[in-house]
Structure 1
Amino acid sequence: MTTLTLKAIAVALLLGGSGLVMAANDGQTRANELLTSDPQFRETWQGVVKKEERLPEWVMNLSGTAEQMNAVQEDGDKYLVGPLCETADTCLNNRLIVAFSYDKKHAYAMLVQVPAGLPADKSPTRHADYRFLGEPKEGMQKLLMEQLKKDPNWY
Protein backbone atom coordinates (compact mmCIF):
# COMPACT_ATOMS: atom_id res chain seq x y z
CA MET A 1 0.00 0.00 0.00
CA THR A 2 2.87 2.37 0.82
CA THR A 3 4.50 1.71 -2.57
CA LEU A 4 1.25 2.51 -4.36
CA THR A 5 0.88 5.76 -2.42
CA LEU A 6 4.46 6.82 -3.23
CA LYS A 7 3.89 6.06 -6.91
CA ALA A 8 0.67 8.07 -6.87
CA ILE A 9 2.46 11.02 -5.26
CA ALA A 10 5.30 10.79 -7.78
CA VAL A 11 2.85 10.74 -10.70
CA ALA A 12 0.95 13.71 -9.26
CA LEU A 13 4.18 15.68 -8.86
CA LEU A 14 5.26 14.88 -12.40
CA LEU A 15 1.91 15.86 -13.87
CA GLY A 16 1.77 19.02 -11.80
CA GLY A 17 5.29 19.99 -12.88
CA SER A 18 4.52 19.49 -16.54
CA GLY A 19 1.49 21.75 -16.15
CA LEU A 20 3.77 24.51 -14.92
CA VAL A 21 6.06 24.04 -17.90
CA MET A 22 3.11 24.25 -20.27
CA ALA A 23 1.90 27.43 -18.57
CA ALA A 24 5.33 29.03 -18.98
CA ASN A 25 5.32 28.13 -22.68
CA ASP A 26 1.82 29.18 -23.68
CA GLY A 27 2.33 28.21 -27.32
CA GLN A 28 2.01 31.79 -28.52
CA THR A 29 4.64 33.26 -30.81
CA ARG A 30 6.32 36.53 -29.87
CA ALA A 31 8.68 38.61 -32.02
CA ASN A 32 11.46 38.50 -29.41
CA GLU A 33 11.51 34.68 -29.65
CA LEU A 34 11.51 34.26 -33.44
CA LEU A 35 15.24 34.45 -34.13
CA THR A 36 16.05 31.77 -31.58
CA SER A 37 13.12 29.55 -32.53
CA ASP A 38 14.05 28.86 -36.15
CA PRO A 39 17.21 29.49 -38.23
CA GLN A 40 15.06 30.49 -41.22
CA PHE A 41 13.55 33.40 -39.25
CA ARG A 42 17.08 34.53 -38.32
CA GLU A 43 18.34 34.29 -41.91
CA THR A 44 15.37 36.21 -43.29
CA TRP A 45 15.61 38.95 -40.65
CA GLN A 46 19.36 39.34 -41.18
CA GLY A 47 18.65 39.86 -44.87
CA VAL A 48 16.30 42.71 -43.95
CA VAL A 49 18.50 44.55 -41.46
CA LYS A 50 21.82 44.18 -43.31
CA LYS A 51 20.56 46.71 -45.89
CA GLU A 52 19.67 49.26 -43.22
CA GLU A 53 21.81 51.87 -41.53
CA ARG A 54 21.81 53.06 -37.92
CA LEU A 55 19.30 50.63 -36.47
CA PRO A 56 19.15 50.18 -32.70
CA GLU A 57 20.58 46.93 -31.33
CA TRP A 58 17.16 45.76 -30.07
CA VAL A 59 15.80 46.06 -33.63
CA MET A 60 18.77 44.24 -35.15
CA ASN A 61 18.32 41.33 -32.73
CA LEU A 62 14.53 41.50 -32.25
CA SER A 63 15.15 41.68 -28.52
CA GLY A 64 13.00 43.54 -26.06
CA THR A 65 9.45 43.22 -24.83
CA ALA A 66 6.90 41.58 -27.11
CA GLU A 67 3.24 40.67 -27.14
CA GLN A 68 1.60 37.76 -28.90
CA MET A 69 1.80 37.75 -32.69
CA ASN A 70 -1.28 37.16 -34.83
CA ALA A 71 -1.98 35.57 -38.19
CA VAL A 72 -2.96 38.19 -40.77
CA GLN A 73 -3.55 38.05 -44.52
CA GLU A 74 -2.26 40.59 -47.01
CA ASP A 75 -2.82 40.24 -50.74
CA GLY A 76 -3.60 36.53 -50.37
CA ASP A 77 -0.47 35.74 -48.35
CA LYS A 78 -0.43 34.85 -44.65
CA TYR A 79 1.84 36.66 -42.20
CA LEU A 80 2.69 36.39 -38.56
CA VAL A 81 2.47 39.97 -37.25
CA GLY A 82 3.17 41.48 -33.87
CA PRO A 83 4.67 44.32 -31.85
CA LEU A 84 8.08 44.55 -30.22
CA CYS A 85 9.18 47.31 -27.85
CA GLU A 86 12.64 48.26 -26.71
CA THR A 87 11.37 47.95 -23.11
CA ALA A 88 7.92 47.90 -21.55
CA ASP A 89 8.57 51.39 -20.12
CA THR A 90 9.62 52.92 -23.43
CA CYS A 91 7.06 51.25 -25.68
CA LEU A 92 5.36 54.51 -26.62
CA ASN A 93 8.71 55.94 -27.74
CA ASN A 94 10.41 52.96 -29.38
CA ARG A 95 8.45 50.17 -31.00
CA LEU A 96 8.63 47.90 -33.98
CA ILE A 97 5.75 46.18 -35.74
CA VAL A 98 7.09 42.99 -37.37
CA ALA A 99 5.58 40.80 -40.10
CA PHE A 100 7.00 37.46 -41.24
CA SER A 101 5.50 35.44 -44.07
CA TYR A 102 4.35 31.96 -43.11
CA ASP A 103 6.99 30.43 -45.37
CA LYS A 104 9.62 32.51 -43.46
CA LYS A 105 11.05 33.86 -46.71
CA HIS A 106 9.93 37.48 -46.30
CA ALA A 107 9.98 39.89 -43.38
CA TYR A 108 8.86 43.48 -43.05
CA ALA A 109 8.76 45.91 -40.18
CA MET A 110 7.86 49.43 -39.22
CA LEU A 111 10.03 51.20 -36.67
CA VAL A 112 8.06 53.85 -34.80
CA GLN A 113 9.91 56.44 -32.74
CA VAL A 114 8.29 59.22 -30.71
CA PRO A 115 10.36 61.89 -28.96
CA ALA A 116 10.85 61.16 -25.27
CA GLY A 117 9.08 63.53 -22.89
CA LEU A 118 6.17 64.22 -25.21
CA PRO A 119 3.42 65.84 -23.08
CA ALA A 120 0.38 63.63 -22.44
CA ASP A 121 -1.88 66.07 -24.29
CA LYS A 122 0.16 65.67 -27.50
CA SER A 123 -0.79 62.93 -29.92
CA PRO A 124 2.04 60.42 -30.50
CA THR A 125 0.68 59.89 -34.03
CA ARG A 126 1.50 63.45 -35.04
CA HIS A 127 5.00 63.44 -33.56
CA ALA A 128 6.16 59.96 -34.60
CA ASP A 129 8.80 59.05 -37.13
CA TYR A 130 7.95 55.95 -39.17
CA ARG A 131 10.64 53.88 -40.86
CA PHE A 132 9.77 50.85 -42.96
CA LEU A 133 12.20 47.92 -43.16
CA GLY A 134 12.29 45.20 -45.82
CA GLU A 135 10.88 47.38 -48.60
CA PRO A 136 7.19 46.65 -47.96
CA LYS A 137 4.72 47.51 -50.69
CA GLU A 138 1.82 49.85 -49.99
CA GLY A 139 -0.52 47.06 -48.83
CA MET A 140 2.01 45.79 -46.30
CA GLN A 141 2.69 49.34 -45.08
CA LYS A 142 -1.04 49.77 -44.44
CA LEU A 143 -1.16 46.43 -42.62
CA LEU A 144 1.72 47.48 -40.32
CA MET A 145 0.03 50.85 -39.63
CA GLU A 146 -3.26 49.07 -38.82
CA GLN A 147 -1.45 46.90 -36.30
CA LEU A 148 -0.06 50.01 -34.61
CA LYS A 149 -3.52 51.60 -34.46
CA LYS A 150 -4.82 48.60 -32.49
CA ASP A 151 -2.86 49.87 -29.48
CA PRO A 152 -5.34 51.75 -27.25
CA ASN A 153 -2.55 54.15 -26.19
CA TRP A 154 -1.91 55.16 -29.79
CA TYR A 155 -4.00 58.15 -30.90
Structure 2
Amino acid sequence: MTCKPFHALALTVLMTSSALVVAANDGQARVNGLLSADPAYRQTWSEVVKKEERLPDWVINLSGSSEQMNAVTEDGDGYLVGPLCETQDTCINKRLIVAFSLDKKEAYGMLVEVPAGLPADKSPTRHADYRFLGKPDEGMQGLLREQLKKDPNWY
Protein backbone atom coordinates (compact mmCIF):
# COMPACT_ATOMS: atom_id res chain seq x y z
CA MET A 1 0.00 0.00 0.00
CA THR A 2 2.96 2.33 0.31
CA CYS A 3 3.28 2.38 -3.46
CA LYS A 4 0.32 4.73 -3.95
CA PRO A 5 1.89 7.68 -2.10
CA PHE A 6 5.12 7.05 -4.00
CA HIS A 7 3.27 7.05 -7.35
CA ALA A 8 1.47 10.25 -6.42
CA LEU A 9 4.77 11.87 -5.48
CA ALA A 10 6.41 10.69 -8.71
CA LEU A 11 3.50 12.00 -10.76
CA THR A 12 3.69 15.38 -9.00
CA VAL A 13 7.44 15.61 -9.68
CA LEU A 14 6.94 14.71 -13.35
CA MET A 15 4.17 17.25 -13.81
CA THR A 16 6.17 19.99 -12.09
CA SER A 17 9.30 19.32 -14.14
CA SER A 18 7.26 19.28 -17.35
CA ALA A 19 5.72 22.62 -16.43
CA LEU A 20 9.19 24.05 -15.76
CA VAL A 21 10.45 22.89 -19.17
CA VAL A 22 7.49 24.53 -20.92
CA ALA A 23 7.95 27.72 -18.89
CA ALA A 24 11.67 27.84 -19.68
CA ASN A 25 10.88 27.46 -23.37
CA ASP A 26 8.01 29.97 -23.24
CA GLY A 27 6.08 27.58 -25.47
CA GLN A 28 7.99 28.91 -28.48
CA ALA A 29 9.43 26.69 -31.20
CA ARG A 30 13.17 26.81 -31.74
CA VAL A 31 15.03 25.37 -34.72
CA ASN A 32 17.20 23.12 -32.54
CA GLY A 33 14.10 21.44 -31.09
CA LEU A 34 12.05 20.83 -34.24
CA LEU A 35 13.38 17.44 -35.28
CA SER A 36 12.72 15.93 -31.87
CA ALA A 37 9.35 17.69 -31.50
CA ASP A 38 7.57 16.18 -34.49
CA PRO A 39 8.41 13.37 -36.94
CA ALA A 40 6.92 15.45 -39.78
CA TYR A 41 9.66 18.07 -39.34
CA ARG A 42 12.30 15.33 -39.28
CA GLN A 43 10.95 13.73 -42.47
CA THR A 44 10.74 17.02 -44.35
CA TRP A 45 14.20 18.19 -43.30
CA SER A 46 15.78 14.82 -44.17
CA GLU A 47 14.35 15.19 -47.68
CA VAL A 48 16.02 18.61 -47.97
CA VAL A 49 19.46 17.60 -46.73
CA LYS A 50 19.71 14.20 -48.43
CA LYS A 51 20.08 15.97 -51.80
CA GLU A 52 22.92 18.16 -50.53
CA GLU A 53 26.63 17.42 -50.36
CA ARG A 54 29.12 18.26 -47.64
CA LEU A 55 26.84 19.79 -45.06
CA PRO A 56 28.07 20.10 -41.48
CA ASP A 57 26.45 17.81 -38.90
CA TRP A 58 24.88 20.74 -37.05
CA VAL A 59 22.98 21.65 -40.24
CA ILE A 60 21.93 18.08 -41.00
CA ASN A 61 20.72 17.54 -37.42
CA LEU A 62 19.51 21.12 -36.78
CA SER A 63 21.55 21.12 -33.60
CA GLY A 64 23.30 24.08 -32.09
CA SER A 65 22.22 27.40 -30.64
CA SER A 66 18.90 28.91 -31.68
CA GLU A 67 16.36 31.54 -30.79
CA GLN A 68 12.60 31.38 -31.02
CA MET A 69 11.02 31.04 -34.44
CA ASN A 70 8.44 33.41 -35.91
CA ALA A 71 5.42 32.86 -38.11
CA VAL A 72 5.69 34.76 -41.39
CA THR A 73 3.86 34.80 -44.71
CA GLU A 74 5.40 34.45 -48.16
CA ASP A 75 3.22 34.55 -51.29
CA GLY A 76 0.13 33.82 -49.19
CA ASP A 77 1.60 30.78 -47.45
CA GLY A 78 2.54 30.60 -43.77
CA TYR A 79 5.99 29.56 -42.58
CA LEU A 80 7.75 29.10 -39.28
CA VAL A 81 11.15 30.79 -39.64
CA GLY A 82 14.13 31.03 -37.34
CA PRO A 83 17.91 31.11 -36.99
CA LEU A 84 20.32 28.38 -35.95
CA CYS A 85 24.01 28.84 -35.21
CA GLU A 86 26.69 26.20 -34.92
CA THR A 87 27.45 27.68 -31.46
CA GLN A 88 26.57 30.97 -29.83
CA ASP A 89 30.23 32.03 -30.03
CA THR A 90 30.55 31.31 -33.78
CA CYS A 91 27.16 32.67 -34.80
CA ILE A 92 28.58 35.52 -36.88
CA ASN A 93 30.64 32.98 -38.87
CA LYS A 94 28.29 30.00 -39.22
CA ARG A 95 24.54 30.27 -39.19
CA LEU A 96 21.50 28.80 -40.86
CA ILE A 97 18.13 30.45 -41.41
CA VAL A 98 15.38 27.83 -41.66
CA ALA A 99 11.80 28.08 -42.90
CA PHE A 100 9.20 25.32 -42.52
CA SER A 101 5.74 25.56 -44.04
CA LEU A 102 3.02 25.46 -41.39
CA ASP A 103 1.81 22.12 -42.76
CA LYS A 104 5.40 20.81 -42.30
CA LYS A 105 5.56 19.56 -45.90
CA GLU A 106 8.15 22.07 -47.19
CA ALA A 107 11.40 23.30 -45.72
CA TYR A 108 14.09 25.69 -46.89
CA GLY A 109 17.34 26.93 -45.51
CA MET A 110 20.04 29.48 -46.12
CA LEU A 111 23.48 28.54 -44.83
CA VAL A 112 25.60 31.64 -44.25
CA GLU A 113 29.34 31.34 -43.71
CA VAL A 114 31.72 34.22 -43.06
CA PRO A 115 35.50 33.68 -42.96
CA ALA A 116 36.78 33.34 -39.40
CA GLY A 117 38.96 36.20 -38.23
CA LEU A 118 37.24 38.83 -40.36
CA PRO A 119 38.23 42.23 -38.90
CA ALA A 120 35.45 44.01 -37.01
CA ASP A 121 35.53 46.91 -39.47
CA LYS A 122 34.68 44.58 -42.39
CA SER A 123 31.02 43.99 -43.19
CA PRO A 124 30.05 40.30 -42.84
CA THR A 125 27.43 40.86 -45.56
CA ARG A 126 30.09 41.55 -48.17
CA HIS A 127 32.28 38.60 -47.22
CA ALA A 128 29.63 35.94 -46.63
CA ASP A 129 28.96 32.84 -48.71
CA TYR A 130 25.26 32.01 -49.05
CA ARG A 131 24.05 28.50 -49.81
CA PHE A 132 20.35 27.82 -50.26
CA LEU A 133 18.88 24.44 -49.29
CA GLY A 134 15.60 23.00 -50.53
CA LYS A 135 15.56 24.93 -53.82
CA PRO A 136 13.73 28.05 -52.62
CA ASP A 137 12.25 30.34 -55.26
CA GLU A 138 13.19 34.05 -55.38
CA GLY A 139 10.44 35.01 -52.95
CA MET A 140 11.59 32.47 -50.37
CA GLN A 141 15.23 33.48 -50.85
CA GLY A 142 14.18 37.06 -50.13
CA LEU A 143 12.32 35.97 -47.00
CA LEU A 144 15.40 34.10 -45.71
CA ARG A 145 17.63 37.10 -46.42
CA GLU A 146 15.22 39.43 -44.61
CA GLN A 147 15.33 37.20 -41.56
CA LEU A 148 19.13 37.45 -41.54
CA LYS A 149 18.95 41.24 -41.78
CA LYS A 150 16.91 41.33 -38.56
CA ASP A 151 20.04 40.38 -36.61
CA PRO A 152 21.45 43.62 -35.17
CA ASN A 153 25.00 42.23 -35.54
CA TRP A 154 24.54 41.68 -39.29
CA TYR A 155 25.49 44.68 -41.39
TM-score tier by shorter-chain length is: 0.7 to 0.9
Alignment of 1:127-138 (within 5 A): 127-138=127-138
CA-to-aligned-CA distance 1:123-146 (integer Å, 9 cap, x gap): 000000000000000000000000
What is the total number of aligned residue pairs between the two structures?
A: 143
* Structure 2: unaligned runs, 5 residues or longer: 1-8
* Structure 1: unaligned runs, 5 residues or longer: 1-9
Using structure 2 for the length normalisation, give the TM-score.
0.88
Structure 1's 120 and 39: CA in aligned 2 closer, same or farther, altered over 3 A?
A: same
Q: Distance in 2 between matches of 1:135 and 1:153?
A: 27
Match of 2:65 in 1: 65
Match of 1:40 in 2: 40
Q: Which amino acid aligns with 1:91?
A: C
Question: Which structure has the bigger radius of gyration?
Answer: 1
CA-to-aligned-CA distance 1:50-105 (integer Å, 9 cap, x gap): 00000000000000000000000000000000000000000000000000000000
Match of 1:91 in 2: 91
Shift of 1:23: 1.9
Does residue 80 (structure 1) correspond to residue 80 (structure 2)? The answer is: yes
Q: Which amino acid aligns with 2:138?
A: E
Q: Note the aligned Cα RMSD (angstroms).
A: 1.7
